[in-house]
A and B are shown apart, each in its own frame.
Chain A
Amino acid sequence: MERILNIKDAVNEAISQSMAVDDKVFIMGEDIVGGGGRDHETAEDSQGGAFGVTQGLVKKFGRGRVIDTPISETAFVGLGIGAAHAGLRPIIEIMYVDFVGVCFDQILNQASKLYYMYGGKHSVPMVIRTTVGGGFRVGAEHSQTLYPMFTALPGLKVVTPSNAYDAKGLLIRAIKDNDPVVFLEHKRMYMNECNVPEEPYEIELGKADIKRGGKDVTIVALQKMVEYSLKAAEVLAKEGIDVEVVDPRTISPLDTDTILASARKTGRVVVADESYPRCGMAADFSAIITENLFSELKAPVMRVMPPHTPIPFSAALEDEWIPDVDKIAAMVRECKKYNK
């Protein structure tokens, strides 16, 4: 049966269904309940996190499992590592990915390395949920798309859903996963809706999804750029350019097979990405495609990316900064025209 849900509610449902079946799962973060976190408070929440994603969870599971923290990311991300070590399955929320700066050691040196350093004895089954993405008019310190930093680290898994169906299935899988997973929610996609089954289901990590089939040009994109690429594909279809949109869905592990199969088929690839251009995902994807398919490509891999600057505040500038439908479509046209 059809049931339409947005990403915000799909994430909430994934957490709720995971907590209902496994009492080792708990969730912790700043203002994820709200209302002061005081003992005398009722079970009601006033916030449900900065974006309302965790609203209602405290009513179902109580303050013992849905836990407000002080503004101490280092302490509660590290707490998650220790709790995971002791057999629990923490979901740790960092309100904005930009805040990892204050707790990055716990992710960079601890969460990602303990399993390896200790010879595979104790894994760290922890999910760090956080938000990425620009366009929210919140300036340079609350708008970044920093997933390349996590992807650069062996030992972490990095999940980047682009619709509500994927968000639910990937999050349920991530919570069951035995490795530390960074789960990134795009803050300008929370209201995006699609059909989402009510029952719990899992999507395997490391499996890309062809969001639209086509034969002329492949676009590889993540999150908001998937949405824009699909819109660009509509425009381009009217011009006779048949675009395939590949959404890796998880960037660590990365489904290179699906990406390369699509690139081999079309021979023309555009990568659209919202992270910074230097050492960003577009650079990474482009290197993988080029070194594997150099002789088969009909055009160089072309990239649509923001400029290498911090994110400007003014709407006039920010809208120019973020890659959009027009820029993606223009790059696809250029790629299609290119003759080797």
Chain B
Amino acid sequence: MEKAYLWEAYKRMQLIRQFDLTVHDYAKRKYRLMGLMHSAIGAEAYSVATSLNMQEQDYMATTYRNHAHSIAKGIDIKGLAAELCGKDAGVCRGMAGNMHAIDQDINIIAGFGIIGAGLPSSLGTAFAAKYKGETGLTVSYFGDGAIGQGAFHESMNLASIWKLPVLFVNDNNKYAMSTAADYNLVHESTTGYARAYKMECISVDGMDFFAVDEAVKKAVKHIREGKGPFFIECRAYRYHGQYEGDPQLYKPQDEVDFYWSKDPIKLFKERVLGEKWLSEQELSRIEADVKAIIEEAFDYAEACALPDLKEIYTNVYCDKY
């Protein structure tokens, strides 16, 4: 594999991991951040593999667990940190917060706070590309919990009958808040739902960057050829709680231990070192670079100003009367 590609992949995975470890640390100490934090640790591999196969024109819809998706797509880390601190310099000017912190300037529609609510909007950006005769696609992220929602089923059906260029990426991280996926869902693999809507689908190990990369390349080719939507189940794990501070009493320890043995960062390092694609020194350099970026971002965020009170009224409407 190309060195520059792997370099970028590892950098973005490290950015996600170190960003959310910092968030975890700060949340625990009730330090710097405002509000509830939703950690994306465990989502590094599939998020980065997906984003690296997207083009600038492509759209993305994400959820309240958005850090991995946004960072993978190249969000400004300082702006993201500032948003989590409720600052005017945040990517959403302090109006959205952790739950919705995305940047519309890099073609992310929204971080949808209601489970399943982003799926219909992702049909819309996909529809717009088709309507304008463009080849752009939309990546729509959602968790296993979203599959219980009507919005999911309506969107799957509509995307299928209209052959919309949507890549449905299901982060099956085993838990919808505290409730296990095998309690909530009738299918063991969420591709069962895709098949019901006659949608092309693959189930992959979402912790394995290389497996997801291969699946996404296949999906993107299918979609760009105008063959309609594609569904990828990324079997992953939500290492942290529903929110930072969640005691996670519902998780068996042997399950947690098992998934740490499948840590996406660890798997990636083992593979690139084994294949001699990147060296120990190179990986260490990336890790050190990222550490500096994260530290700088949160120091910047803390130093930034809070929004002016008039901002309460500024952007309710675009056309004012």
- In the bound assembly, the distance between CA atoms of A297 and B5 in angstroms comes to 74
Asked whether A76 and B316 contact (CB < 8 A) given A64-B131, A88-B131, A110-B112, the answer is no
- In the bound assembly, the distance between CA atoms of A125 and B92 in angstroms comes to 20
**Is residue A327 within 8 Å, beta carbon to beta carbon, of the partner chain?**
no
One of A83, A90, A118 near B110 (C-beta < 8 A): A118
One of B117, B124, B155 near A109 (C-beta < 8 A): B117
Is A115 a contact partner of B317 (Cβ separation < 8 A)?
A: yes
**Is residue A331 within 8 Å, beta carbon to beta carbon, of the partner chain?**
no
**Is residue B125 within 8 Å, beta carbon to beta carbon, of the partner chain?**
yes
- In the bound assembly, the distance between CA atoms of A75 and B114 in angstroms comes to 14
**Is residue B281 within 8 Å, beta carbon to beta carbon, of the partner chain?**
no
Partner-A contacts on B (CB < 8 A): 59, 61, 92-93, 95-96, 100, 102, 104-105, 109-110, 112-114, 117, 119-129, 131-132, 138, 150-151, 154-155, 157-158, 161, 314-319, 321
Chain A residues 81 to 113 lying within 8 A of chain B, measured CB to CB, are: 81-88, 90, 102, 105-106, 109-110
Is B100 a contact partner of A78 (Cβ separation < 8 A)?
A: no
- In the bound assembly, the distance between CA atoms of A114 and B104 in angstroms comes to 10
- In the bound assembly, the distance between CA atoms of A141 and B154 in angstroms comes to 22
**Is residue A26 within 8 Å, beta carbon to beta carbon, of the partner chain?**
yes
Asked whether A75 and B151 contact (CB < 8 A) given A82-B121, A88-B128, the answer is yes
Chain A residues 139 to 172 lying within 8 A of chain B, measured CB to CB, are: 154-155, 157
Is B123 a contact partner of A82 (Cβ separation < 8 A)?
A: yes
Is B138 a contact partner of A83 (Cβ separation < 8 A)?
A: no
- In the bound assembly, the distance between CA atoms of A72 and B316 in angstroms comes to 28
Chain A residues 108 to 128 lying within 8 A of chain B, measured CB to CB, are: 109-110, 114-123, 125
Is A86 a contact partner of B124 (Cβ separation < 8 A)?
A: yes
- In the bound assembly, the distance between CA atoms of A115 and B319 in angstroms comes to 11
For B317, what are the chain A residues with a Cβ–Cβ distance below 8 Å?
Answer: 115, 155, 157, 179, 253
Is A119 a contact partner of B93 (Cβ separation < 8 A)?
A: yes
A125 CB to closest chain B CB (Å) equals: 8
B interface footprint on A65-84 (CB within 8 Å = 1, 0 otherwise): 00001101011111111111
Q: What are 20 A-B contacts with C-beta separation under 8 Å?
A: A75-B155, A75-B157, A76-B120, A76-B158, A78-B123, A78-B124, A79-B123, A82-B109, A82-B138, A83-B124, A86-B125, A105-B117, A106-B121, A109-B117, A110-B112, A110-B117, A114-B110, A117-B96, A119-B96, A204-B321
Is A105 a contact partner of B114 (Cβ separation < 8 A)?
A: yes
For A109, what are the chain B residues with a Cβ–Cβ distance below 8 Å?
Answer: 113-114, 117
- In the bound assembly, the distance between CA atoms of A130 and B186 in angstroms comes to 36
- In the bound assembly, the distance between CA atoms of A168 and B102 in angstroms comes to 38
For A209, what are the chain B residues with a Cβ–Cβ distance below 8 Å?
Answer: none
Asked whether A26 and B158 contact (CB < 8 A) given A114-B110, A179-B318, A253-B321, the answer is no
